[in-house]
Structure formats: C-alpha cells, structure tokens
Amino acid sequence: MGGWEITYHDCEIVESFEEGSFVYTASEAGCQIVRARFTITNIGSKQNTFLPIVYTIAEDPLVRLTDSSHENYYEVSDGLTLKSNLMSETLNPGVSMDGELFFQLPDEVAQGTEPVYIVISLGEEEIFCPLLEAEEAEE
C-alpha cells in the first residue's frame, strides 16, 4: 500500500518495557503499550519514508489500531528514540527493515475481550488485521 509491503508478525501488550538504559511507559494514565512487530519493504521505484511525521493524505499509508466497533482509533505513538521504531524510516527501493510500531491502548481495551485490529489505510482503502498477542498467535 502506498509503495510499501507491510507484513505484521506479532505483538505484546505491556505496562512498560526497557530498552538499553531507558524504561518506557505509556504517556497517558490508564493506558498500556502495544509493541507490534512488522517488516516493511519499499516496493516503489524511489526512496521513500515510512509513516513520516508530516504525511500526505492519499499518498502515505497510515497505521492505527481500532476496537471492534471501528469507531475508536489509536494512533502510532512517538517512539522516535527507540532503535526498533519503524516510524519515519527512509528506505531505498527494494530494501526491507524489521522493527516495531508502538501504540497506547486504554486499559479497558487492552484487557478487554473484544478484538483489536491493526488498520492500514491509504485514502479510502483500508485493510484490517486482527491484533493478537504473541502467546495467542502461537496457539
């Protein structure tokens, strides 16, 4: 979508995590962090930036989470200081990269029984993929 092949692998939902000497927690009270792992590949013919901070509607894909009602959307969190973050990564044509996108979900959604979906959209086109925690994906 939008010159990208985006492959979702798995995720984990945590209250906090450590990377290097830093501890990361949700920036909003009552939320948990979703660490979703992806592989992105630039399938276009020129260098491109994945999920740029300043994006162009209908040209750059968006990646968000939504609940089962598809009425509440949760944007990618700013994890720019994390080495594994895919947001704003610039790749040459044909190059792939493994990494993560980070989201904040309210506790009631993260711990609820209703499904949560990854939504990849470009303009009016949307693709929904069920979000499963790593242990659920292995079952």
pLDDT tens digits along 100-112: 999 999 999 998 8
d(CA 81, CA 61): 22
Question: Which has more confidence, 15 or 137?
Answer: 15
C-alpha closest to that of 75 among 46, 98, 51: 51
Percent of the chain with pLDDT over 70: 94
pTM of the predicted model, to two decimals?
Answer: 0.85
What residue ranges define each of the domains in the chain, with the CATH number in brackets? Answer: 4-138 (2.60.40.1240)
Report whether 131 contacts 101 (CB < 8 A). Answer: no
Q: How far is CA 111 from the centre of its chain?
A: 18
Report whether 87 contacts 38 (CB < 8 A). Answer: no
Burial 106-122, CB ≥16 within 10 A → b, else e: beebbeeeeebbbbbbb
Cα separations (Å) of 117 from 64, 72, 74? Answer: 8, 11, 10
Q: What is the mean pLDDT of residues 83-90?
A: 90
Which band of pLDDT confidence, cut at 50, 70 and 90, is reported for residue 139? very low
